[in-house]
Amino acid sequence: MSELKNDRYIRALLKQPVDRTPVWMMRQAGRYLPEYRQLRSQAGDFMSLCKNPELASEVTLQPLRRFPLDAAILFSDILTIPDAMGLGLYFETGEGPKFERPIKSQSDIDRIGTLDPECELKYVMDAVRRIRSDLDGLVPLIGFSGSPWTLATYMVEGGSSKAFTKIKKMMYAEPAMLHSLLEKLATSVVDYLNAQIKAGAQSVMIFDTWGGVLTPRDYQLFSLRYMHKIVDGLIREYQGHRIPVTLFTKNGGMWLEKIAATGCDAVGLDWTININDARARVGDKVALQGNMDPSILYATPERIQEEVSQILADYGQGTGHVFNLGHGIHLDVAPENAGVFVNSVHELSRAYHC
């Protein structure tokens, strides 16, 4: 496989010097791009795209043809693991993911077996291999998984939720049951991410989308504890290269120090915390990724540039910052505005890396 032509993203995660701040966007491959919508229409549905390595690679590379991004992220879904566990994943138009057979009892959890990523999730590994080949060293490839807590919320709720009553009922009324599910998920995530690394992922990220709905005590017990277990179990060097690990808890700004203490290389930030405050709190322990409000991309080019400038100034001099949105790009954002964002980061960040 080709050596990286642009390793700015990896270097920033490892807090090594860079010439400018690297940038990529969560959900950079997706519905805001007309070429993605066209390909999805041809494929038939979202999971058909995910399960076709050739199409998954094409979707992954689409944003790189438009924008000078510093990383590619595997086109897949966080719910591949519960789908492979036999819960019957499907997507309702306008309602998001749903499961035909949600987890309701200990016997449901007991029926879940351990996954062989090169068997039940071979389509993901084939996609990673294809993308690495098609990238030809242009930029690093990010692999990812949902966190055990976030996966469990979908598996117990049966889909998306606003109040999380079913999983919180399990958490408070039958905590041992939930822990048994989270243990199985943590083991599966370790195996899944390590398989992605062996297939070609050069960095991995764990998305804890729903960790922020927990109390501080429950966050440590039911979310962070299992992400820490995953970090401990991951391959951190492969074929002579470090494999950086990023943890991202949406609405997790109050727990930055605890997240940083897991041994991860970087902590993802949403837009509810100032990056200057975050850097002051974690010091040089980890790199930081984030954290522009995705809705800024609805603004004028001048306003987008202003926001990029402010976040760069707030972070200040030196490496250790991967610029990103604080969550995924919205589906109705104009691609041209995303281009303004990416270009602004590159142009305005040079002064911070003298």
Is 40 a known active-site residue? yes
Catalytic annotation, pick one of 27, 66, 281, 303: 27
Is 226 a known active-site residue? no
User: Is 293 labelled a binding residue?
Assistant: no
User: Is 110 labelled a binding residue?
Assistant: no
Q: Tell which residue, 115, 106, 19, 73, has the closest CA to residue 246.
A: 73
User: Is 29 labelled a binding residue?
Assistant: yes
Catalytic annotation, pick one of 70, 77, 83, 126: 77
User: Is 60 labelled a binding residue?
Assistant: no
Catalytic annotation, pick one of 40, 66, 236, 281: 40
Q: Tell which residue, 260, 148, 139, has the closest CA to residue 201.
A: 139
User: Is 27 labelled a binding residue?
Assistant: yes
Is 27 a known active-site residue? yes
Q: Please give the structure tokens belonging to residue 254.
A: 């109050």
User: Is 327 labelled a binding residue?
Assistant: yes
User: Is 65 labelled a binding residue?
Assistant: no
Q: Please give the structure tokens belonging to residue 137.
A: 């060293």
Q: Please give the structure tokens belonging to residue 14.
A: 């490892």
Is 332 a known active-site residue? no
Is 154 a known active-site residue? yes
Tell me phi and psi for residue 126, to 5 degrees. -65, -35
User: Is 28 labelled a binding residue?
Assistant: yes
User: Is 30 labelled a binding residue?
Assistant: yes
Answer yes or no: are the C-beta atoms of 217 and 147 closer than 8 Å. no
Catalytic annotation, pick one of 9, 32, 36, 154: 154
* Secondary structure, 3-state, the chain: CCCCCCCHHHHHHCCCCCCCCCECCCCCCCCCCHHHHHHHHHHCCHHHHHCCHHHHHHHHHHHHHHCCCCCEECCCCCCHHHHHCCCCEEEECCCEEEECCCCCCHHHHHHCCCCCCCCCCHHHHHHHHHHHHHHCCCCCEEEEEECHHHHHHHHHHCECCCCCHHHHHHHHHCHHHHHHHHHHHHHHHHHHHHHHHHHCCCEEEEEECCHHHCCHHHHHHHHHHHHHHHHHHCCCEECCEECCEEEEECCCHHHHHHHHCCCCCEEECCCCCCHHHHHHHHCCCCEEEEEECHHHHHCCHHHHHHHHHHHHHHHCCCCCEEEEECCCCCCCCCHHHHHHHHHHHHHHHHHHHC
Provide the annotated binding site for substrate: 27-31, 77, 154, 209, 327
Active-site annotation, residues:
27, 31, 40, 77, 154
Annotated binding site: 27-31, 77, 154, 209, 327
